[in-house]
Structure 1
Amino acid sequence: MRKINTFWNWFQDNNKTIKNGINETPKNQKNITFWMNKNLGYYCKEIDFIIIFPNKNTDKTELIITANGNPDYFGQVINLVDKAPLLRKWKFTAFIQPTERINEIINGLDEPYILKEISLKASDTKFLSLDYDEKTDKYDIIVFLKNYNLYCDTKTLKQAIFIILQNSIAENSLFQNINFVQLAQMPNNNEELIHLYDFQSYIDTFNSYILKNKSVK
């Protein structure tokens, strides 16, 4: 609790500088980011932030706290944002929320996610549910990639998959709904597989089926 208060006290003291960062020189922006990272790291080194500056639809600057899809640190994200101060010109959000560019993804017009040596498109990934645990309401899924044999199973690759997932559903929904992710090469015959961007729809449909069967019993 003390570390949370320490971060927010620092943020309140510096929120105007951070908010005005968009108008600063690249050198000053880098300095602002450095101190933001450093102070957030005092609380938890495994979580990150994204700042979204105001546009024509809002006058608030948004600070998104993210665990980068790692469920081990979802609790730290939630606890931090729950204790965020009330600042008139700021909006504080826990986790990356689903992208609004879903139509681009469906039509295959999405830009690839590039992480280090890996380049992946959300529209090129599909999944299949392996198992559903009724006790936890979580799924084990297998995600199929076109070039999995090229990449093999790396930490960066799994991180890329989680980023694609959290841009299709809310980041915290990963923690609530996914227990295990296995990666594999996309088979030649993949018509029966489900696009990864349809994962939320799959969950909603399956949950409705479960509730319906429970009510019948």
Structure 2
Amino acid sequence: MNKQLNPRQIKTIQNFWTWFQDNEQAIYNACKLEIKKEEVFFHIQRNLNYVSKRLEIIIYEVPNQVNKLHIMITALGYKKLFPKVITLGDTAPKLEHFTIHTFIKPLTPDNKHVLPTFISIAMQQVFIKLEDYNTATKKVVMIIYVPEALEKFNLSFLLYFILGEVNYKKHIKEVNFKPLPKNTNGLLSISELPEFIDYLAKINYSRKLKIFFE
């Protein structure tokens, strides 16, 4: 994690931000107005791939910030990429239309106001069921139940924004998405997940624990 980047890697990151800054208005128009959206996002990913093909960039709106978009740069918990994410954050230019964030952090009262809008909505409507828990690896297998109204959204990053990318990689083995049933008895609200995972990590599998997976 403390590995220093070489000059060539740093230059590649600087080139990415130079390109992004030069094309900021076009990127903003693609996100807000969907003008040449597919083409613009292709070039964003292409330029980010020069830094690393395993990094992800998420561009999103947050409630009550109509004229500003947020950019999350994440390594999805892969520690070998952390130096690149840190450098991307440290060298990011001041942008007119975007606010830059690095590393998806666990949800707390202090950062709840900058959650992506679709994540804030999903947290109120999405339920989960834990299918399995490995006490040796401390990892869970779960089902996420999504209401029909949210099926149009890409919820693949939902758990990352709730748990944080480090905790996601540490505790989540497998996630499956299913339609939300009419009867939600026995299901957990997804907002309860961080507390429940903390609870699981502190106990061993037993008859008491088994009831959560039945």
1:190 to 172, 184, 192: 184
**What is the one-letter code of the residue matched to 1:41?**
N
Equivalent runs, 1:46-85 vs 2, <5 Å: 46-49=54-57, 64-67=72-75, 74-75=78-79, 77-81=81-85
> Which residue pairs with 1:55 in the alignment?
none
Distance 2:113 2:185 in 1: 23
How many residue pairs end up in the alignment? 176
1:59 corresponds in structure 2 to none
* Distance in 2 (alpha carbons) for counterparts of 1:182 and 1:14: 34
Q: Which amino acid aligns with 2:104?
A: F
The alignment partner of 2:155 has SS state of helix
Q: Look up the equivalent residue of 2:132 and give its one-letter code.
A: D
* 1:143-158 equivalence runs, <5 A: 143-147=144-148
TM-fit CA distance, 1:180: 0.8
**Percent identity for Structure 1 against Structure 2:** 16
Q: Which residue of 1 aligns with 2:123?
A: 122
Change (3 A) 1:51 1:145: closer
2:34 is matched with none
Offset at 1:121?
2.6
Separation in structure 2 between the aligned mates of residue 185 and residue 29 of structure 1, nearest angstrom: 33
Deviation at 1:84, TM superposition (A): 6.0
Q: Distance in 2 between matches of 1:88 and 1:187?
A: 44
- Higher RCO (CA < 8 A, seq sep 6+): 2
Aligned equivalents of 2:89 and 2:181: distance in 1? 50
CA distance in 2 between counterparts of 1:9 and 1:177 reads 35
Q: Secondary structure at the match of 1:192?
A: coil
- For the Cα contact (< 8 Å) 2:13–2:88, is it kept in 1? no
Contact conserved, 2:13 with 2:51, CA < 8 A, in 1?
no
Normalised by the length of structure 1, the TM-score is 0.56
8 Å CA contact 1:112–1:121 kept in 2: the answer is yes
Correspondence for 1:205 among 196, 199, 208? 199
1:136 is aligned to 2:140: no
Flag the 1:88–1:187 CA change in 2: closer, same or farther, 3 A: closer
